[in-house]
Amino acid sequence: MPSGLSSSEAQWLLEQEKLPARVAGNLAMLCELGSADRIAAYLARKGVKGKRGRPAWCAIAVYLSDRSGTPVGVNREYIDLLVACRTVKISSPEPLREFVRKFDHGDYPGLVKGDDKSPLPPARYPDSIA
């Protein structure tokens, strides 16, 4: 234990060091579901709601924040979590990337918080010319 820390500060620091493992465990469980649609079904059963296009309010971020007790942000590339006053980036596994893409597009309306008025992103099709 570093000198100058009270026992409560030392306990807080030890808890902070455990956060990445807790988040990683919950991430692994979500990834074991195997697909974005299965992740969405699981989150729906848990009553999780989020906001599209908002990393700190993505349904997965809400779930991970609730489970770990620390702020988590999720986008297509990374999961960010606050650990001991610094941000730790974890590369998003493919099932989570697919989920974020579909969630942000509006494919899971049952997971969207009622006050979310985010516009749908423009449709992008490889064969269309705008």
pLDDT tens across the length of the chain (130 residues): 444 545 655 554 455 556 567 777 888 888 889 899 999 999 999 999 999 999 889 999 999 888 887 788 888 888 887 776 777 787 888 888 999 999 999 999 999 987 655 555 444 434 434 4
Residue 64 lies in a domain: yes
Residue 59 lies in a domain: yes
Residue 121 lies in a domain: no
Q: How many CB atoms lie within 10 A of CB 70?
A: 18
Any residues with CB less than 8 A from the CB of 120 and at least 6 apart, and which?
Answer: 105, 106
pTM of the predicted structure, to 2 decimals = 0.72
Count of domains observed in the chain: 1
SS3 90: strand
Residue 129 lies in a domain: no
SS3 63: helix
Q: The domain containing residue 26 runs over which residues?
A: 10-106
Residue 21 lies in a domain: yes
